[in-house]
Amino acid sequence: MTMNQTEQSTGLLTAVARGDADAFEALYDRYSSMLYALLLRILGNAEDAQEVLQEAFVKVWTNAQMFDEQRGSEIAWLISIARSRGIDRLRSRKIRNERENDAGREVSIHVGFTDKSTGADHAIRSEEGTAVRGALAALPDAQRVALELAYFEGFSQSEIAERLGEPLGTIKTRMQLGMKKLRESLRAFQ
């Protein structure tokens, strides 16, 4: 099983675009765990993550007809919506400051995996997760840290440079090299 198999469109979004509520339920059951993990990582707060997850899925329902399979995968479209709303919430509520002042914070999460997707789906995603984590682990720490600060914390290039105490040019180069490696990893999976 390769990552490519899970990147193939399930057709669920196309069905959702037609107003198919069953497809929407299936879409939620398939991707909500991944998107919730992403929002917990961005917001560091279960209550906010749940609210934003709800907002993101409502947006998926209302904007599904804007999804273009030719321009990206189903999963990438969903992730971009959830991440974008997560970063917006992070900025608007200044959660970043709270997080910096709250080193001992704890995230309340539901660890029981009661996914409604099939065993095969779960197996695919477990395998995908292992492959992806391998690709991320292969990145040099400096590149991974810079990418994570941008992707999960919403920091700009200059903010990252300031936080890491490195010149802006160095940070840009690290991020570009890191993205190049991730792109190569993605191609290797396909």
Q: Name the DSSP letter for residue 44.
A: -
Q: How far apart are CA 186 and CA 61, in angstroms?
A: 28
94 CA to centre of own chain = 20
Give the footprint of other proteins on residues 126-185 (CB under 8 A): 128-129, 132-133, 135-136, 147-148, 150-152, 154-157, 160, 172, 175-176, 179-180, 182-183, 185
| Subset of residues 89 to 108 that bind other proteins, contact rule: CB under 8 A | none
Size of the residue set binding other proteins (CB under 8 A): 66
Question: Does residue number 61 form part of the binding site for other proteins (CB under 8 A)?
Answer: yes
DSSP state of 70: G
Distinct helix (H) and strand (E) counts, the chain: 10, 0
Cα(86)–Cα(151) distance, integer angstroms: 11
What's the closest the beta carbon of residue 28 comes to other proteins, in angstroms?
Answer: 6
Round to whole Å and give the CA distance between 64 and 15.
9
Binding residues (CB under 8 A) for other proteins: these are 7, 19, 21-22, 24-25, 28-29, 32-34, 36-38, 40-41, 49-50, 53-54, 57-58, 61, 71-73, 75-76, 79-80, 83, 87, 109-115, 125, 128-129, 132-133, 135-136, 147-148, 150-152, 154-157, 160, 172, 175-176, 179-180, 182-183, 185-187
